[in-house]
Amino acid sequence: MSRFRRRQFLVAAGALLAAPLSVEAQKIYRIGVLETKSIALNAANFGAFRQGLLQFGYVEGRNLELAYRSSSGGDDQFAGLASELVRLKVDLILARGTPATLAAKNASRTIPVVMTGIADPVLTGIVASLGRPGGNVTGLTTAIVELHAKRLQMLKELLPKITRVATLMDMRNLASAPIWKVTVSAARSLGIEPQLLELGPAKNFESAFEAAVAQRVDALLVGLDPAIQANVARFVELAAKHRLPAIYAAGEFVDAGGLMSYAPSYPHMYRKAATYVDRIFKGAKPADLPIELPTQFELAINLRTAKALGIKFPPAILLRADRVVE
């Protein structure tokens, strides 16, 4: 073989060997997102998820596509939205909360699901255990069940004379029953009478607040059902209208004018969710990836709202606050 032809052969062979790497580098990963509210209302959380993906080299328009679907607070929308994502042949689904995660799991037993913002995936039967989830679902839990008891303690610390607290939640959500059970137990241990204000299918928020006033409750414990997540401003507005002190399950309520919140850092959890996505895309199985508990919590208070309600935060709470809105 002449030197020229030998060189041509080597170049061609090198091109063939390099081809698979080139194809792999150009692979486009498609992630379906099942959320409770629009991207605009979910900017902080979803932005953190995007930043997390970017750190691992996933860039929209180059090797990443995101298909965002929101239920706009309607749990009954998740099944159809999950099926739509399956038809789009996504490589993975990011799901927020129990209803969305259940819908994703029911829509496909093979597409990996990374969950976030979920109360207790073991109690609701989504996974076998936190250490070894099994199946196609893994991710992060918020430990909301236990946090409801903590929020009640904070309400009692802020308002020592309260005797009746109403909890707003949708009991159709599978996570609600265990949350309510813990809430009742914690309330009674604090000498508080718990009241359940159930958000039914009609989602008549005004009626729920009117019922709270009629039952002469002293304060509100507001859950984080999809309907509530999608109507943050409305809930804060109604609490102010009826002059009801409330503690919320996410800091965004305080930013909107809510009195107080104690919750995991949701942006931090969304950023961590990107870690799960990367590990799965690199070959890990969801069944083998342990579910993480929250590691960062935030106590946020709104002094302007407190002043409007005639409430003064004790120094002990002010010192513990991670964020103060004035």
pLDDT at 19: 41
118 neighbors 273 (Cβ within 8 angstroms)? no
Q: Which residue do the tokens 């976030």 mark?
A: 116
203 neighbors 217 (Cβ within 8 angstroms)? no
pLDDT at 20: 43
258 neighbors 239 (Cβ within 8 angstroms)? yes
Rounded Cα distance, 5 and 285, in Å: 47
Q: In the CATH hierarchy, which top-level class contains the domain 25-141+265-295?
A: alpha beta
Per-residue pLDDT of 261-276, as tens digits, reads 999 999 999 999 999 9
AA identity, residue 40: A
Rounded Cα distance, 275 and 217, in Å: 43
Q: Domain ranges for the chain, please list them.
A: 25-141+265-295, 144-264+298-325
Least confident interval from 46-55, 77-86, 98-107, 197-206: 197-206
**Architecture of the CATH domain 144-264+298-325:** 3-Layer(aba) Sandwich (3.40)
Q: Could you tell me the two tokens for 184?
A: 């009742």
- CA 48 vs. chain centroid, Å, equals 12
Per-residue pLDDT of 199-247, as tens digits, reads 766 567 888 899 999 999 999 999 888 788 888 899 999 999 999 999 9
pLDDT at 295: 86
pLDDT beyond 50 at 21: no
pLDDT at 12: 45
pLDDT at 117: 87
Per-residue pLDDT of 144-179, as tens digits, reads 677 888 999 999 999 999 999 999 888 887 878 888
pLDDT at 202: 53
Query: Residue 127 phi/psi, 5° resolution?
Result: -130, 160
Mean pLDDT of the chain: 88
pLDDT at 78: 95
pLDDT at 200: 66
